[in-house]
Amino acid sequence: MRFLPAFGLIMPIVVIASVKTIPDAASEPLLCYVGGTMRPAVEEIAKMYTQKTGREILIDYAESGQLLIKIEQTNKGDLYVSHDPFLGALSRKGFLEKAWVVAGITPVMVVAKGNPKKIKGFTDLGRPGLKLIVTHPEYSMLGHLLPKMAEKAGIKDALYKNVVSETRGGGEAANAVIMGTADASIVWNAVARLRIDKLDTISIDPQYQLLKGVDAISSATFGSMDMGFVRVTMAVLTTSKNNQAAIKFAEFTAGKEASEIWKKFGFTQTEPQIIDKTTDMAVPRGSLFIHCAAGMRKAIDACAKSFEKKSGITVELNFDGSNRLLGQIKLTRKGDIYIPGDAEYGAMAEKEGLADSTTRKVICYLTPVIMVPKGNPLGIKTLNDFLKKGVKIGQGDEKSAAVGKQTIKLLALNNIDRNRWNKNVVLSTPTVNELGAAIKLGTITAAVVWNSIAKDYSDVAETIPFEQLKNIVSTVDGVILASCQNRSAAEAFLNFLVSEEGKKILQDAGYDVVKK
């Protein structure tokens, strides 16, 4: 896979930021190579920095790939501003000393002012007769993102039938829409912002966007690239003759004052991150430790295996009853993600400062059902029938398992006498999974379990649904813990669970991804 353009004549334009004060004699100008998309923002940041410090910044801008060739050929320069995937290539060529993630860029659709073709969403780009201009994958990261998104939206063939031309960069594509050569294009949000007076911007539907930490591509030149979050980085080069001065400017570019300028020019805001020459340029690596309700074992185990294969991140799973897991988290203050069998437990973790509520994602829904042995020998149809003489009830422990807590709520909702119920209880289990095994062994003759668990025992047991008004469905949330050691990887895993692939795994395992 190639991103670098074929070598040709490079005609850089050098912009020298104005100097307010005369720098110290020992101070020399810093040479900063800047990819074209980032040029306006970096010029303004450089001007501000010069006014504050007296340090002169020389800016040489061109396509990121061309600048990379220039660094390699001249072996000169202090800093390099680019977006992914070029930092990976810089590192592999041995020119990366240290880098700061200063912002991000996000793909958007651009159309002529007034949106004459009435394009409302991403799938509209597949409408017959529409004229599109897109960027070429040999020169542009966007050229690799677009087919992946189009495939996700189910319009890949239709979209590419509408492509009338491919350009080297997003600026050319956006300008073509302004001139009327095309009806629409897909460019970076920062490219669109520069043309806000001549183009309208339309966001790409969230369900068709690529997932951070999950969707990735690899090449020998650039390494593994996270297609769900394209970073803008300021790198200090190993060729710098004034390393400390270069670091100071890079730190300023990644700081609070500069962040307002990045925002002004339409770049996506991001968390601060420092990358050194020993850092892997790939998508988030390392490992995750996940506390997960035992009732979710089958689906989460399958999701973890698929996620590991796609991302390279190792996932360790700890299955137990939801409340017992919460106790372990309190005691150990360890773990990255908590997936209990009911949202109440996640809320409890958040209230005690053990989890970050802003990261919560709804994964699926667990529906309680009645499970009895095959043939239903005791004729059980409702919870009232659990009170019959001779019925051996198994239930989840309300102090350990989410299904146990839910069972107590169901007894109240269905007006079941707790004392009469308790007389027939012969088994209390810390997890819901053990109830299915007990039915199979004949230890119990009735239990309330999740629908997904009942499905696993369909060869030896029967499932009896509750009336809709007599049931309480549990919402399963995933939340990142305060003790998380790998937040980017944790976010990536939660994103995977709610992706189309994750939802399919959940559905195939018998879990409801839509509340019934």
**What is the CATH architecture assignment of 368-470?**
3-Layer(aba) Sandwich (3.40)
Provide the pLDDT for residue 219. 60
Whole-prediction pTM value? 0.60
85 prior amide bond cis, ω within 30: yes
Tell me the mean pLDDT in the region 395-420: 93
Please state, for a pLDDT cut of 90, what percent of the chain lies above it.
71
Provide the pLDDT for residue 139. 79
Tell me the mean pLDDT in the region 245-254: 95
* Cβ within 8 Å of residue 93, ≥6 positions away: 68, 71, 72
Q: Which CATH code for domain 13-103+229-276? A: 3.40.190.10
pLDDT, greater one: 275 or 385 = 385
- Homologous superfamily of 107-208: Periplasmic binding protein-like II (3.40.190.10)
The span from the CA of 29 to the CA of 48, in Å, is 15
Min mean pLDDT across 130-139, 175-184, 337-346, 416-425 is at 130-139
The span from the CA of 145 to the CA of 151, in Å, is 10
Provide the pLDDT for residue 9. 33
Provide the pLDDT for residue 11. 37
- The CATH number corresponding to 287-365+474-508 among 3.40.50.2300, 3.40.50.620, 3.90.226.10, 3.40.190.10 equals 3.40.190.10
Q: Please give the single-letter amino acid code of residue 499.
A: S
User: Could you report the per-residue pLDDT of 47-106, keeping only the tens digit for each?
Assistant: 999 999 999 999 999 888 889 999 999 999 999 999 988 998 898 889 999 999 999 999
Identical fold for domains 287-365+474-508 and 368-470, yes or no, is: yes
Element (H, E) at 255: none
Show the tokens assigned to 426.
């012969």
Q: Are strands 446-450 and 393-396 parallel, antiparallel or unpaired?
A: parallel
> Residue 4 — pLDDT band, cuts 50, 70, 90?
very low
User: Could you report the per-residue pLDDT of 422-448, keeping only the tens digit for each?
Assistant: 999 999 999 898 998 999 999 999 999
Give the C-alpha distances (Å, rounded to integers) separating 267 from 57, 103, 108, 226.
22, 6, 12, 17
Provide the pLDDT for residue 218. 63
Angle, CA 83 vertex, CA 78 and CA 89 arms, to 5°: 70
Residue 389 DSSP label: T
> Residue 277 — pLDDT band, cuts 50, 70, 90?
low
**What residues does each domain of the chain span?**
13-103+229-276, 107-208, 287-365+474-508, 368-470
- CB of 242 closer than 8 Å to CB of 29: no
User: Could you report the per-residue pLDDT of 131-147, keeping only the tens digit for each?
Assistant: 999 998 877 888 888 99
